[in-house]
Amino acid sequence: MRAIIFDFFGTLTDPSAELLRKETIQATAAELGVSPERFWTAMAASFPDRIVGAYGGTRDTLRTIARQCGTDPDDERLDRAVATHRKGAERVRTPRRGVLAVLDHLRARNFRLGLISDCSSELFEAWPETAYAPRIDAPVFSWQERIRKPDPRLYATAAARLGVPAAECWFVGDGGSREHDGARWAGMRPVLVTNAGYPGVGGLRTDPDSYLPEHRIDELDELIRLLGPSHDNG
C-alpha cells in the first residue's frame, strides 16, 4: 500500500467540533438579519446541492439562502456575514488531537496522502491556509468536482492525482455518505474510524453506511499500528 486517502470531517477534524455546527450557522444568520432557526433549516435543506457547488462560493451561497429566508442583505451586511461564517467554519474544522503528527509520521514513511471531502464552499476556499494543506498531496473536494460520495469518480480522481493505483490506496473515514462502499467499489482498502471516544457525536450523521469495513480503529493514531512496521514505501 502506497497511499492513504482520508475523509475530512470527523476523521481529520475533531469529531466534537461537529457539535458547534449549529451555533456557528446561527451566528451567520444573526449577521444577515435572518431568523437563526429558519436559516439553519434552509442551510440543512440546501446541503446536498451546496456540496456539489450548485450555490457557488460562500458569498453567493449566503446571499441566496438569506433571500430564501425573506431577507436581501446589502453588501456591508453580507461582508460581515461572510467573515463570521468563515470564522465559524474554522472552528468546525479544528484538527483532531494529534492528527498533524500522524500525517507528518505517514509522510515521513513515504506514504502519499490524499483527501476526499463532501464539503461546501467554505472548506475549498480556506483550504490553502489550513494546517492540513501542506500535509495532503492531493485534496479532492465534492464542491469543486460537482459530485459527491460515493461517486466512483471521486475515488478515481484522488488515486490519479496521487499517481497511485486504487488497489494500493487505503481509504480512512468515520463513515457516512456511504464513503466506505465507494472506497471498496473503487478497489481501495477501507478503514473505519469509530470515534468511540466521542460519545454523542455519531448520532449527528445522516446517510449512514450499511457496509462495515473489516479494518476498524477508534482513534486516528491507531492507523500507524494498523499499517504495520515501517518500511520503504517509495
Q: Output the smallest distance, CB 104 to Mg ion, in A.
A: 21
Q: Output the smallest distance, CB 50 to Mg ion, in A.
A: 16
User: Which residues, at least 6 apart from 141, have a Cβ–Cβ distance to it below 8 Å?
Assistant: 117, 119, 123, 124, 127
The number of helix segments (H) and strand segments (E) in the chain equals: 10, 6
Q: Output the smallest distance, CB 15 to Mg ion, in A.
A: 8
Work out the angle between the directed axes of helices 36-50 and 21-32 (0-180°, nearest 10): 110
- End-to-end, the C-alpha distance of the chain in Å comes to 10
Instruction: Catalog residues that contact Mg ion under the rule CB under 5 A.
Output: 7, 9-10, 174
Give the length of the chain: 234
Residue among 63 and 178 whose Cβ is closer to Mg ion: 178
Residue among 31 and 174 whose Cβ is closer to Mg ion: 174
Task: Report yes or no: 18 and 177 within 8 Å, Cβ to Cβ.
Answer: no
Residue among 31 and 209 whose Cβ is closer to Mg ion: 209
Residue among 18 and 137 whose Cβ is closer to Mg ion: 18
Q: Output the smallest distance, CB 213 to Mg ion, in A.
A: 14
Query: Of all residues in this chain, which one has the CB nearest to Mg ion in the complex?
Result: 10
Residue among 66 and 116 whose Cβ is closer to Mg ion: 116
Work out the angle between the directed axes of helices 58-68 and 75-92 (0-180°, nearest 10): 110
Q: Output the smallest distance, CB 11 to Mg ion, in A.
A: 5
